[in-house]
């Protein structure tokens, strides 16, 4: 499976800024927006290759969704 965790750049940036670590070069909001648009294009072009998970859910729910997809396949 290729899982795509669908999360807005604003939420991603907010979560990253709350982490206790140095930012990586790709963790700037502008870069996150570009990366998000590329992945959304890929998911749209090749939907059969991706399992889209709502990444704005809690960590527990995201984990549950991923495990459920794996177990039910």
Mean pLDDT of 41-47: 97
Residue 42 has a pLDDT of: 97
Q: In percent, how much of the chain has pLDDT > 70?
A: 92
Query: Judging by DSSP bridges, how do beta strands 51-54 and 3-6 pair with one another?
Result: parallel
Residue 25 has a pLDDT of: 66
Q: How far apart are alpha carbons 4 and 66 in whole angstroms? A: 10
Coil, helix or strand at residue 47: helix
Q: How far apart are alpha carbons 11 and 46 in whole angstroms? A: 25
pTM for this model (two decimals): 0.80
Coil, helix or strand at residue 70: helix
Q: How far apart are alpha carbons 25 and 8 in whole angstroms? A: 18
């Amino acid at each position: 499976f290729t899982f795509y965790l669908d999360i807005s750049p604003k939420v991603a940036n907010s979560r990253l800024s709350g982490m206790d670590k140095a930012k990586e070069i790709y963790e700037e909001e502008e870069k996150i927006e570009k990366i998000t648009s590329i992945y959304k294009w890929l998911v749209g072009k090749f939907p059969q290759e991706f399992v889209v998970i709502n990444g704005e859910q809690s960590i527990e729910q995201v984990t549950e969704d991923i495990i459920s997809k794996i177990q039910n396949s």
